[in-house]
Amino acid sequence: MSQPNTPAYGGQAVIEGVMFGGKSVTITAIRRKNQEIEYFEAPREDKKWVARLKKIPFIRGIVGLIDASANGAKHLNFATERYSMESEDESADSGPSRLTLILGVAVVGVLSFLFGKFVFTLVPVFLAEFLLGRWVPPGIPQNLAEGGFKILLLLGYIYVIAQAPLIKRLFQYHGAEHKVINAFEAGVELTVKNVQKFSTLHYRCGSSFIIFTVLVGVVVYSFFSYDSLWERVIQRILLLPVVMGLSYEVLQWTNKFRETPVLRFLGYPGLWLQKITTKEPDDSQVEVAIASFQRMRERDSALSKQKEFATTG
């Protein structure tokens, strides 16, 4: 059970490591081949108007995703570059492996929500129209068919990239990230032994957000009619911010009510998807996740004090 007034930290798995974000800084820790842990730090300095937007329901989700995408790209680049530097056979293996890894990170992070969301939104529209248009009438039946294709594409995409051994390790780091967050929110000391006792699933995960965009989209699209395929496509594009904003709020609600027996089932679709995108980490991977989280907390506290001193001093 979460402790009261616990900060809602978030994170992301990267290549051979984990990134955690605080109020003032984001920190990535990665495991090098010599077994040392290397860190990458990026400050967070929201402009005042951005900070205000992040407090407005239904808008804050979109703003947060854009911010997380830009911020996460820095950490992904850092981890990818370090991995490339240590690749034993750049010419033969590095190219395809790096591409596969980047696609994998897009599943467990937020990088797919800008470009990938368009792909997973529009391709199912054409599939539902051309494959089932003769038999499935417009409106809610077509929306359900469209949602079904989205889920199949999503699961198929994850299944394909998950065949790569390095993606399996990425999913293990994703599990390590969740274990650390769960342990912290439970108020226990962050040791490898303690953290390993916790679940790899978390209600606030980006994987849950992905599945909620599918489910929320089916509901939202049902309130609008269309007369042609292209009108349907344009409609989906225009409604994409609405769907994403609502999905973010649903994600927050499921996390808020996760301790309520009657309502905790609302988050189950996201948890089911996480059973694919997270794997049980080994002790070494948990150690990296703990190191990243603790460094983030230390630097976040120090930077917050500096800002407070600068403001009052």
CB atoms within 10 A of CB 135: 8
How far apart are alpha carbons 145 and 39 in whole angstroms?
Answer: 45
- This prediction has a pTM of 0.85
What is the predicted pLDDT for the residue at 92?
A: 47
Stretch 249-261: mean pLDDT: 86
**Least confident segment among 81-90, 249-258, 291-300:** 81-90
pLDDT tens for each residue of 87-131: 655 544 444 455 555 555 555 444 455 556 777 888 899 999 898
The average confidence (pLDDT) of the chain is: 84
How far apart are alpha carbons 273 and 167 in whole angstroms?
Answer: 16
**Least confident segment among 117-121, 180-184, 187-191:** 117-121
Residue 26: both structure tokens together: 């984001």
Choose between 103 and 228: higher pLDDT.
228
Strands (E), the chain: 10-14, 17-21, 25-31, 37-43
Neighbouring residues of 220: CB distance < 8 A, sequence distance ≥ 6? 239, 242, 243, 246
